[in-house]
Structure formats: C-alpha cells, structure tokens
Amino acid sequence: MPRARAPSAAARSTCAPAARPACTASASTTSTSTTSTASTPPSPSRTRSIGELKKLVEEGKVKYIGLSEASPDTIRRAHAVHPISAVQMEWSLWARDIEPEIVPLCRELGIGIVPYSPIARGFFGGRGVTQQVSAESSLKGHPRFSAENLEKNKQLYLKMEELAKKHQCSPAQLALSWVLHQGDDVVPIPGEKTEDRLACMCFLIEVKCVFKKS
C-alpha cells in the first residue's frame, strides 16, 4: 500500500495564505514546523489552503501537510492537491465515529491517523466518575459529561476498571493501548501534563514497538 510520509508531532499553524508570512518569518529565524495543519475552514477554502501549503512545501518551508477534523470529501480533495501525511481526529473507545469512513479512507490513501483525546478527554482517567469535572471546565458543556450521560457512562468506566485490573494497568493506559492497537499507522496524542504520566504513556508506545519488532 502506498504510504505518505509519517507525521511528526502535528505542529499547528493557521491555514495558508495566513500561514505564509509566519512560515517565511520562521524559516528566516529559528525553527520551522515540519507539519502544517489546515483546520476549520469549509472545504473549498481548505482546498485553496492546501494549494498554498503545497507552495510552502516546494519552497522548503513546510515538510508535511496534515488536516484536522476533516470530512472524507475534504481529505480526498486535499490529497489530490498534495499528499496529506496525517489526519487528526478524535478516536477512542468513547468516540468511534471515524471508523466507518475516515479510517478506511486514510488507509486507502496511505495517510497516517493521529487520534486526539484518546483517553476520552480524561474520562478513562476517571474524570466525571472518580474525579469531579470542575465548574469552569469546558467539559461541563459537553453532552458526554452531562449528569445524565455520566451516570450511564459510569457503567462503561467500571467495566474498563475491571479489565484494567486484570491487565495490571490503569483504565487510562488500557484506553490508550486500545487506540495504539488500531494499527501501525495510528499515532495518538494523549494530553499529558506531568512527566510521570508522559513516561507511562511513552512506555506503552515502546511496548508496541517491541511487539512489532518481535
């Protein structure tokens, strides 16, 4: 299967042409992004953005192009303008919407998949179940964290906890392992604020690599 170049961390920048001055400035000073991610505008303007980003690739100012929150149609059209290296979408045991269309499409086109919120925005870390969601948190407005749904989801969390005990890990690690297990073209980005947690998650990624080699 043809495979686009693997993504590095999907560094954000706004869509070209807005990205152009930033990339030019960045190239002439210190660091440059290796991946430029086109996000939010509707499809026709995204296709234009990819055309502009393509020019930045040709000028050596950007190495890879990624998309965030893109529809299958946008992915196809963007990829026709320039190979897309990675697509960033929510994917976890709690959010599996991308499985019917986006995942097969990315595989067909050889695009890497970068699942964001692989721990379900902290839910598999116990947020909303064993930990409170703070009143100021944006999650308060998220339907999945509404009181009614949390009660239902709690049952799911308890099952995960049981399974995690069996595998001698935490529910968050189990949730991340599930995402990591979806394929070698899948590179999740969990939200880690402490070194300990980051080390834990890196360990899981290393284990995956070891299994892959053996």
Ligand X SMILES: NC(=O)c1ccc[n+]([C@@H]2O[C@H](COP(=O)([O-])OP(=O)(O)OC[C@H]3O[C@@H](n4cnc5c(N)ncnc54)[C@H](OP(=O)(O)O)[C@@H]3O)[C@@H](O)[C@H]2O)c1
Catalog residues that contact ligand X under the rule CB under 6 A.
68-69, 88, 116-122, 125, 170, 172, 189-193, 197, 200
CB of 42 to ligand X, least distance (A): 16
Interhelix angle 72-81/102-109, nearest 10 degrees: 20
Q: With respect to ligand X, which residue has the nearer C-beta, 56 or 120?
A: 120
Q: With respect to ligand X, which residue has the nearer C-beta, 154 or 197?
A: 197
CB of 157 to ligand X, least distance (A): 12
DSSP, collapsed to helix, strand or coil, labels residue 113 as strand
- Residue given tokens 């692989």 in the structure block: 118
CA dihedral 158, 119, 99, 178 (to 10 degrees): -70
CB of 172 to ligand X, least distance (A): 3
Q: With respect to ligand X, which residue has the nearer C-beta, 32 or 170?
A: 170
CB of 137 to ligand X, least distance (A): 9
Beta strands in 39-98 (DSSP E): 64-68, 86-90
Q: With respect to ligand X, which residue has the nearer C-beta, 193 or 212?
A: 193
Please give the Cα distance from 183 to 15 (Å, whole number): 29
